[in-house]
Structure 1
Amino acid sequence: MKKISRIEYCAGFEPLQSGMEQDEGSRILLPTMKTLGGAASKSADGETSEAAPAGDNNGFFTPNEKIDFSNVKVEPLFEEQVDFDTFSKSDFRAVKVKECIAVPKSKKLLQFTLDDGTGTDRTILSGIHAYYEPEELVGKTLIAITNLPPRKMMGIESCGMLLSAVNNLKNSEDEELHLLMVDNHIPAGAKLY
């Protein structure tokens, strides 16, 4: 039996290693994450680099302990169960935002032109304009349910629904909405299971 080095063993995983940094001691590739805000970080070669600004990544990788959830009211879970066959009929896909505009004569609606991996643009309308400006969503990777029947809103056919997390605040009628955004390395059309 031929003995292989750690480097040879890891070579088979090269496509998975993009965006990863080598550990100088063992030459094994390890994932790294940038810190958000705070002091500059020091790399293995001794160079100092500035950390990403606090608002970078739309809150991705912000540790939970740095976010105040004390004023969030959690809704009870549904007691009614859905059988697996019913659930599996829902087609959840990663979609890339090609264009996003405010729908004329509507205070709530944004019109998304999406790449869903099929080669044909998909239009979805979403009532989230109170939470997002259209230009900040272009280029993002979102999650959509793509097999809902088309629905006309303001004369425009919406073919699917974008997923969001919504929570209410304690002692308030206000709610927060967070559009589900995922890593841009996920390709358009990737199916969620």
Structure 2
Amino acid sequence: MIPNVIPTMKTMKAENKEAHGESEGKVEEASGFFTPNEKIDFSGVKIEPLFEDQVDFETFSKSAFRAVKVKDCKAVPKSKKLLQFTLDDGTGTDRTILSGIHAYYEPEELIGKTLIAITNLPPRPMMGIESCGMLLSAVNERNGEEELHLLMVDNHIPAGAKLY
């Protein structure tokens, strides 16, 4: 059986992997997916403060958070940052979302993964391509450098599943 390898950020260099509790060429598994917290060094991590403003439940509930499966992913020509995702959102029609995460991920690493997207944002043209939604990521700073982690979930979750 081939292990389910989770893509890592491109910027994570081999010398930093040990500090993060990872070893070269080895995927640490706990329940087959995540590295246990006790194996990750969070000492150099800084996060943004929480928002003071509150959002009422009615406003929050208008956002459609859905599981999406990455059918294809490629770099957008003439852009250093953008990746173009072709996604299965459970509707039977492919959804295109552009995301400025190329500094952190290579497109081929993401094909076949299950991600989280907001699917009811109005379409937004970027580099001549209409982006229909937003992929969710976690962002933090570690030792003065920004890190970005796409939110990935278990592949057993079907495309289009709603998150509450």
Q: What is the TM-score normalised by the length of structure 1?
A: 0.69
Query: In the alignment, which residue of structure 2 is the partner of 1:54?
Result: 26
Q: CA deviation at 1:89?
A: 0.1
Name 1:111's counterpart in structure 2.
Answer: 84
Question: What is the CA distance between 1:74 and its match in structure 2?
Answer: 1.9
Deviations 1:118-176 (A, max 9, x none): 00000000000000000000000000000000000000000000000000124x2x200
- 1:92-107 → structure 2 map (5 Å cutoff): 92-107=65-80
Aligned mates of 1:131, 1:74 — CA distance in 2: 18
Give structure 1 regions of 4+ aligned residues with deviation exceeding 4 angstroms. none
Kindly indicate whether the alpha-carbon contact (under 8 Å) linking 2:74 and 2:108 is maintained by their aligned counterparts in 1: yes
Q: Percent identity among equivalent residues?
A: 86
SS of 2:67's equivalent in the other structure is: strand
Separation (CA, whole Å) in 2 of partners of 1:152 and 1:74: 30
The one of 145, 148, 158 equivalent to 1:177 is 148
CA RMSD of aligned residues (A): 1.4
Instruction: Tell me the residue number matched to 1:29.
Output: none
CA distance in 2, matches of 1:184, 1:112: 17
Cα distance in 1 for partners of 2:33, 2:140 equals 18
**Structure-2-length-normalised TM-score:** 0.81
- 1:113-132 paired onto structure 2 within 5 Å: 113-132=86-105
Q: Does 2:118 correspond to 1:145?
A: yes
- Work out whether 1:76 is the aligned partner of 2:44: no
Which residue of structure 1 aligns with residue 159 of structure 2?
188
Which structure ranks higher in relative contact order (CA pairs < 8 Å, sequence separation ≥ 6)?
2
Q: Distance in 2 between matches of 1:164 and 1:136?
A: 16
Distance 1:56 1:103 in 2: 32
Q: Matched residues in 1 for 2:97 and 2:34: separation?
A: 28
Gapped regions of structure 2 (runs ≥ 5): 1-24
Where 2:69 maps in the other structure, the secondary structure is strand
Q: SS of 1:142's equivalent?
A: strand
Extract unaligned runs of 5+ from structure 1. 1-52
1:20-39 map, 5 Å: none
For 2:163 and 2:118, how far apart are their aligned partners in 1? 10
* Residue correspondences, number: 138
In the alignment, the residues of structure 1 paired with residue 78 and residue 87 of structure 2 have an alpha-carbon distance, to the nearest angstrom, of: 22
CA distance in 1, matches of 2:70, 2:131: 15
